[in-house]
Amino acid sequence: MAPTYLIHSYISLPAVRPDWEHFDILCAMGRHHRIVSERQTLSMVRSFADPIAMRLDGGGRQDLSDRALTNANAEADLREQFMAVPRHDLRNAWRLRARRRGF
């Protein structure tokens, strides 16, 4: 026999990031009948949803920042490798000229 859940109250509000992008939905259920459309209840649930969305948004921004730093480091390495070839060629050319001139 399947269990019976006596849910009499249900509320859900969107968790919105600070840039107003929809992030997720915060839901609450209760066994007792409550009027969830009251202003006090809505503000209480919103007071839970907003900090959760901000906290999770901060984690996402950190991931983006980490990826940007990794990409910048990879670009710098490639640039350094690219510049090493002409530097090497120029040094060899200068050394060859110096030897020919007797330095």
**Structure confidence by residue, pLDDT tens digits, 68-102:** 888 888 888 888 877 777 776 767 777 777 777 77
2 located within any domain: no
Domain that holds residue 44: 9-101
Task: Tell me which H or E stretch contains 14.
Answer: strand 9-16
Residue 16 lies in a domain: yes
Q: For residue 26, what is the enclosing H or E element? A: strand 22-30
Q: Which pLDDT does position 13 carry in this prediction? A: 80
Whole-number pLDDT of residue 49: 77
How far is Cα 44 from Cα 38, in angstroms, rounded to an integer?
Answer: 10
What average pLDDT does the structure give for the chain?
Answer: 77
Q: Say how many domains are in the chain.
A: 1
